[in-house]
A and B are shown apart, each in its own frame.
Chain A
């Protein structure tokens, strides 16, 4: 059993910070600039801001938040669709808590719930299956968002619904895969990176080997890391070491939960129920084969096939979340940040999710 408390021990944390700063200074002396790393995962973004690491390192290491917050990259049309579906009298919509406050074109799911629509926050897709079982006269629709971490549980929910022979359950699939979006980011050349802090939770499912393309095709290193202060600092330290030694590698710094091959059972579940599909990313656009949808034999559980609704183009705002999730700008560079857009009145999804870059800046890095 790993003693997790060690990873947030204050003395060790402060020593780790100093070690990182020493290496970063060496890098700056050699290259004449500070290194740029991207944390792919929204939970890393939040943890780096909350622990003060981002603030402490800002003069030595540039940490950019990547596209790994599932709420932030959920296409606005999906929210509009869910709100439209909630207006049907016999539906119960189920969603994860974060989604409730993400603005659609007109309003949020929270507002729809306040207006009397039956929308429920659940902690697992399996809870929504239970709700379907308990409400046979209602159509229960789950808003299926998330990356590889959550996707296997969506497949499990479909397996459970099949086992229970439910006819009133479906998922509005809008899942995302990490590899296609990283490929798009790196190919576009919009943002110059020296390395990735790779997502701990996603890696549990897909395994270390799935990142080989970063080193082999894009000549960039990555370290899979955990979420405690010392773990995050260790990841940054190792990236700096690789840079200084001019080596390109994918390292696993989270070995007690992430294996080389990942979680094969979860991978098999995905394989059995889902297939790749072109997916729309909020603020980025459609990326070929960047999401997963239910295979044809499970079409009964695919809400997009079950309910024919027409959704218009989403309302355009001055929100720059699209550029923020691609690491092109910081939240402060958005004209709406902390003015029109706050966690209480979010305009874009990055301000909604606790994992969103703007929310992390607002809560943890605004006005020290």
Chain B
């Protein structure tokens, strides 16, 4: 099997070959990339920029791989900000010995996902480091999107009674990764929800004027994303536990391991705060879409403009408890 060697990162013939055979093959070579920098004509005064690094383990998991994650993660960060994703750059740090076949597969996935999302990969960088310096492959992506005036989010308009919607079941990615680490021995079917949501979000923003704010609940899960919203906008959100959609097998895995799906990572979900008059319309659009078919209204804003925002969870017995950020690292319980 062909593997990456340190010489692939030396900037010489092998580097050239690697770029030609793998990256250019998949990403193409547009006019924008003829200089040391990609030269872009950005059709707007206001742009959105985001950057993220992907170090997922394992690199291949049910429902995707690190490359798919790198594109969808960056696309979704732009989309939930109300921007239309345009271009992405990608930096690769590759461990010496990494199989070239796997690299090709990852790069192809990235190209395919970028095409689906309608973004161009316009610049990149490749470094090869000694075995042991990184765990296989790390990818950094930076995305640039164009803000649409009519898509401007209006968090300042959040008011009591606004609805909170989640676009589908939570915790799928977290459980898929745990399962793929092959440490559980009991989970086989759960796939990561990893997906680009920009087209769905675009449709929502086009159709619904009452969308106040959106977030993609990735690391730290739905609970952490909502806690951040509560703190950033000084609001109280009350979530009804029974209405939060969780797949049975995800809940089962969580029960066994002592995890809470509210804190597990998602890579293809969006949480939306919307004027309650628009909630049904938003729900209809979401449910009409493959990536939003399990959408659900999970709660509402119960107070605004307070000193410190908080997230509350209404339990099945009718009590309310406060949810906080994920504390520390998720670790499995023992029995």
Q: Which residues of A contact B (CB under 8 A)?
A: 8-10, 13-14, 17, 43, 46, 50-53, 55-56, 70-71, 96-101, 121-124, 127, 145-147, 149-150, 201, 227, 229, 342-344, 353-355, 362-368
Contacts and interface: CB of A to CB of B under 8 A. Distances in A.
B321 interface: yes
B332 A97 contact: yes
Interface in B225-270: 242, 255, 257-258, 260
B183 interface: yes
A343 to B, nearest CB: 4
Nearest to B259: A354
Contacts of A101: 328, 331
Question: Which among A56, A70, A363 has the greatest number of chain B C-beta atoms within 10 A?
Answer: A363
Contacts of B331: 97-98, 100-101, 121, 354
A71 B335 CA distance: 10
Interface residues of B, number: 25
A365 B315 CA distance: 12
A305 B327 CA distance: 37
Given A10-B242, A97-B332, A367 B322 contact: yes
Question: Which among A56, A97, A99 has the greatest number of chain B C-beta atoms within 10 A?
Answer: A97
A344 to B, nearest CB: 5
Given A10-B316, A367-B322, A146 B334 contact: yes
B322 A17 contact: no
Contacts of A355: 258, 333
B259 to A, nearest CB: 8
23 contacts: A14-B316, A17-B317, A51-B315, A51-B316, A52-B315, A52-B317, A55-B319, A56-B317, A96-B333, A97-B332, A121-B332, A123-B183, A123-B184, A123-B257, A127-B183, A145-B334, A146-B335, A147-B335, A362-B327, A363-B324, A363-B327, A367-B322, A368-B319
A368 B321 contact: yes
A363 B260 CA distance: 11
Contact of B319 (A52, A99, A123): A52
B327 A97 contact: no
Given A122-B183, A344-B328, A354-B258, A52 B318 contact: yes
Given A342-B327, A343-B327, A344-B327, A8 B332 contact: no
Chain B binding surface, main DSSP class: loop
B335 A201 contact: yes
A164 B312 CA distance: 52
B132 interface: no
B324 to A, nearest CB: 7
A105 to B, nearest CB: 21
B335 A14 contact: no
Contacts of A13: 316-317
Nearest to B334: A96
B185 interface: yes
Contacts of B255: 227
A366 B327 CA distance: 14
A46 B257 CA distance: 13
Contacts of B260: 50
Question: Which among A50, A127, A353, A354 has the greatest number of chain B C-beta atoms within 10 A?
Answer: A354
B317 A150 contact: no
A19 B205 CA distance: 48
Given A343-B328, A344-B327, A98 B334 contact: yes
Question: Which among B258, B260, B316 has the greatest number of chain A C-beta atoms within 10 A?
Answer: B316
B53 interface: no
B126 interface: no
A52 B332 contact: no
A52 B327 CA distance: 20
Contacts of B89: none
A257 to B, nearest CB: 14
B294 to A, nearest CB: 17
B191 to A, nearest CB: 21
Nearest to B186: A123
A97 B335 contact: no
Nearest to A13: B316
A175 to B, nearest CB: 12
Nearest to B327: A343
Contacts of B184: 123
Contacts of B183: 122-123, 127
B303 interface: no
B320 interface: yes
B318 A17 contact: yes
A147 B335 CA distance: 9
Contacts of B319: 52-53, 55-56, 368
B174 to A, nearest CB: 14
Nearest to B320: A368
Contacts of B332: 96-98, 121, 123
B327 A8 contact: no
A27 B324 CA distance: 36
B315 A97 contact: no
A364 B242 CA distance: 16
Given A96-B332, A97-B334, A343-B327, A365 B316 contact: no
A353 B333 contact: yes
Question: Which among B184, B242, B327 has the greatest number of chain A C-beta atoms within 10 A?
Answer: B327
Interface in B279-335: 312, 315-322, 324, 327-328, 331-335
A13 B316 CA distance: 6
Nearest to A342: B327
Nearest to A229: B316
A101 B328 CA distance: 10
Given A122-B183, A123-B184, A354 B315 contact: no
A169 B142 CA distance: 47
A32 B260 CA distance: 39
Nearest to A71: B334
Contacts of B312: 368
Contacts of A123: 183-185, 257, 332
A52 B319 CA distance: 6
B257 to A, nearest CB: 8
Contacts of A365: 321
Given A55-B321, A354-B258, A8 B328 contact: no
